[in-house]
Structure 1
Amino acid sequence: MTEDVPVRIRPEIAALPPYRQGKQAGADAFKLSSNENPYEPLPSVVESLRRTVGVNRYPDATAARLRTALAERYGVLPDEVHIGAGSVSILSQLMLAAAGPGDEVVYAWRSFEAYPGLVLIAGATPVEVPLTDGARHDLDAMAAAVTDRTRAVIVCSPNNPTGPIVTQAEFEAFLAKVPADLLVVLDEAYAEFVTDPDAVDGLKKLGRADHPNVVVLRTFSKAFGLAGLRVGYAIGHRRILDAARSTAVPLSVTAQSEEAALASLAAEDELLERVRTIGERRDRLADALRAQGWSIPVAQGNFLWLATGEQTMDAAAAFESVGCIVRPFAGDGIRISVGEEESLDRVLSAASVVLAGLPVDHAGRR
């Protein structure tokens, strides 16, 4: 029996479990549960933080320097860039701005675990569309799920936690099927890790003038290794982003976050060399798991998916027993972040043990 809430809370919020991040790792374990970059920030980024003083003063609420830098990079106006405390905070702002009681928001499932909560917090109804075989978005089914109550659709590419991308052709075909005044959020938190040339790219391939209803989300948390500083951004139509800005918690992006993001942009070539290393490591790990007999979706983020099904929690314990903290989704599967090179042997050792315990006809097997 759950404890009674001592004040009047919206019932759907009282029933909503808080977001839970990936489990922390002890000193002798590899933390592979939160899709973090295993590399420390570059010395130039650390130096930029050292120079940032004045924590007794509020930051620039508009993060104007970072907005300007990103606008120049992507050929847009500064007002078409919005900075938030991670891309998930901007997604929350967009949901609050676009959807409310009686409205619906469509997204694929399973996808990023924060989506259902953000929709419910806005007062809207989540509409979850199952993934296809191969753990990919079913964009045809998502388009068919759009009704006159739908206020937003979220497309996650590469899909977290399963890994596959949406192609450019698929995304543009999807846009042609949905109303032009429907907010479409393209969540590209892992875009820098993508190597598939056919993948959607909301900032380089998509004609923004043709699709003003699309807002693209990116982050400095993953590829740029600034997860602890919480800074992400959106690029889209100024009036849509103004609506998001209106719902934002003021002053949530710190001066340190903005400074580190600017320094990271300046060192992008060096940082993306690390990203290429992680991508190569991801592909080697996926190949090795398939060689063991696992069925692994085509991964384009910095993580891999094991469809362990009903055996998920036991499988997570097996990984933890060898010092690998992974992210279990009970009843579905395990997401394994690509971490340090030294972690790979442990991951493969535990995966082999888990696979041996799965039924012969298990969906996680090849």
Structure 2
Amino acid sequence: MSVTAFIENLRAEVRGLPAYNAGLSGEFVRARYGVPHVAKLGSNENPRGASAAVLAHLAEFTTAGTLALYPDPSCGALRSLIAERLAVDPEQMLFGNGSEDLLAIAAHTFLAPGDEVITVIPSFGLHIIYPQSVGAEVVTVPMRADFEFDVDALIAAVSPRTRMLIISNPSNPVGCAMDASEMRRLLNAVSPRTLVLWDEAYFEYAADKDGYPDSLAILRESDLPWLLLRTFSKAYGLAALRVGYGVASAPELAGLMNRVRTPFNINQIAQQAAAVAFNDQAHVAASVETARAGREWMRTALIRLGINPARSCANFLFFDCREDAAKLAGRMLEDGVIVKPWREAGYETCMRVSVGSTGDNALFIESFERRRGR
């Protein structure tokens, strides 16, 4: 049998999946375009990087004996640390190779072919791809024209047959966030048969701002099954180590997911680095302040150019550049600037740009002004 014939006999759900747009590496752009410096502003990474405490720990970590042993499959030390600070039962917690790993595990644990999933567009692509990979039917609810959550439309879309509701708050890619009243209003419309998956990958950037909800407390108030996701990839600066964590509404839900995940999905170096990072909240606070200052500088610069970015509580901006965003982003690569053009239907003129260092933010504005409208 040929490869083509073999593939044609695979599940249609898999054959029809779109590829996730993971973006370009700095190394690729540097080599392809011959630029001395790359402003990598397409993946929402932390320009401050990991904390000095993490780097010092990593420098002392490796010994031959340690590397020969499997990591702790339960992430015991990290589990205890986070559970104590969040005041949750350690058995409610679970860990993934990045929070997107937990998205995949949740889809494979709780969804079956034909189940209905509701999420928002523009979306984080894996909120759609992973449910589709198991045969679920994804219903997408567009944001309002002002790039805010359309809570009324979400409530209208949710029904007793909805198996999972996936919301990122703050939104990825837009950056806006629901407040506590909006969140409660949405949850009150959800059936107990629906798992609420609340993705807070950008939690740290919004957590101390007036109006941002205590999502964990509000989820606990509900009688719904829920899963709250967070990550060490963004504000903690550990994207390369891939550590995400989740809190489930009940240990039984976490236990089901632990049966599906691979048993050693967080390596020992990542576990220890995440624990050190979690204890260095001063670095997180400094990273958040850097992102907020850079975001507002970029917003002001874009407004001067006639562009009105969406409200953002995160470390990026999303906006309509009023032309083909993919073509514009392609031209900006010639200046060594990587951004993320949006490819979902209806949003092809939109672009997301991460907040980087002061110099990279300025390079983005210079390139955007030079390359647009050509």
Give TM-score, length-normalised by structure 2: 0.89
Correspondence for 1:327: 340
* Structure 2 residue corresponding to 1:223, chosen from 224, 235, 241: 235
Q: 1:42-191 residue pairs with structure 2 within 5 A? A: 42-53=51-62, 54-191=66-203
CA contact (8 A) 1:162 1:297 kept: yes
1-structure distance, mates of 2:109, 2:349? 32
CA contact (8 A) 1:60 1:255 kept: yes
1-structure distance, mates of 2:145, 2:18? 29
2-structure distance, mates of 1:9, 1:55? 38
2-structure distance, mates of 1:189, 1:201? 14
CA contact (8 A) 2:160 2:193 kept: no
Correspondence for 1:6: 6
For residue 270 of structure 1, report the CA deviation from its aligned partner: 2.5
CA contact (8 A) 2:197 2:228 kept: yes
Tell me the alpha carbon deviations over residues 108-143 of structure 1, each in whole angstroms, 9 at most, x when there is no partner: 011101111101112211111111122222222122
Question: How many equivalent pairs are there?
Answer: 354
Correspondence for 2:33: none
Task: Give, as a single letter, the amino acid of the residue that structure 2 aligns with 1:181.
Answer: R
2-structure distance, mates of 1:230, 1:272? 21
Tell me the alpha carbon deviations over residues 222-260 of structure 1, each in whole angstroms, 9 at most, x when there is no partner: 000000000011112212222221211221111111101
Correspondence for 2:359: 342
* Structure 2 residue corresponding to 1:300, chosen from 305, 308, 313: 313
Give TM-score, length-normalised by structure 1: 0.91
CA contact (8 A) 1:30 1:324 kept: yes
2-structure distance, mates of 1:167, 1:354? 37
Tell me the alpha carbon deviations over residues 157-190 of structure 1, each in whole angstroms, 9 at most, x when there is no partner: 1111111111111011101111133111111100
Task: Give, as a single letter, the amino acid of the residue that structure 2 aligns with 1:350.
Answer: S
For residue 14 of structure 1, report the CA deviation from its aligned partner: 1.4
CA contact (8 A) 1:119 1:125 kept: yes
For residue 332 of structure 1, report the CA deviation from its aligned partner: 4.0
- Give the direction of change, closer, same or farther, for the CA distance of 1:5–1:351 in structure 2 (3 Å limit): farther
Q: 1:211-360 residue pairs with structure 2 within 5 A? A: 211-237=223-249, 238-308=251-321, 310-330=323-343, 331-353=348-370, 357=373
- Give the direction of change, closer, same or farther, for the CA distance of 1:313–1:171 in structure 2 (3 Å limit): same
For residue 309 of structure 1, report the CA deviation from its aligned partner: 5.5
CA contact (8 A) 1:289 1:351 kept: no
- Give the direction of change, closer, same or farther, for the CA distance of 1:200–1:354 in structure 2 (3 Å limit): farther
CA contact (8 A) 1:157 1:200 kept: no
Task: Give, as a single letter, the amino acid of the residue that structure 1 aligns with 2:133.
Answer: I
For residue 5 of structure 1, report the CA deviation from its aligned partner: 5.2
CA contact (8 A) 1:318 1:354 kept: yes
Between stretches 137-146 and 95-104, larger displacement belongs to 137-146
1-structure distance, mates of 2:322, 2:259? 41
2-structure distance, mates of 1:309, 1:186? 31
Task: Give, as a single letter, the amino acid of the residue that structure 2 aligns with 1:13.
Answer: V
1-structure distance, mates of 2:214, 2:323? 35
Query: SS of the residue aligned with 1:6?
Result: helix
Structure 2, unaligned runs of 5 or more: 31-35
Query: SS of the residue aligned with 1:118?
Result: helix
2-structure distance, mates of 1:199, 1:211? 22
Percent identity between the two aligned chains: 30
Task: Give, as a single letter, the amino acid of the residue that structure 2 aligns with 1:129.
Answer: V
- Give the direction of change, closer, same or farther, for the CA distance of 1:74–1:353 in structure 2 (3 Å limit): same
CA contact (8 A) 2:228 2:246 kept: yes
Between stretches 223-232 and 141-150, larger displacement belongs to 141-150
Structure 1, unaligned runs of 5 or more: 359-366
For residue 87 of structure 1, report the CA deviation from its aligned partner: 0.9
2-structure distance, mates of 1:209, 1:75? 15
Tell me the alpha carbon deviations over residues 82-126 of structure 1, each in whole angstroms, 9 at most, x when there is no partner: 111111111111111111111111000111011111011122111
For residue 321 of structure 1, report the CA deviation from its aligned partner: 2.4
2-structure distance, mates of 1:302, 1:86? 18
CA contact (8 A) 1:90 1:234 kept: yes
Q: Is the aligned partner of 1:20 residue 2:21?
A: yes
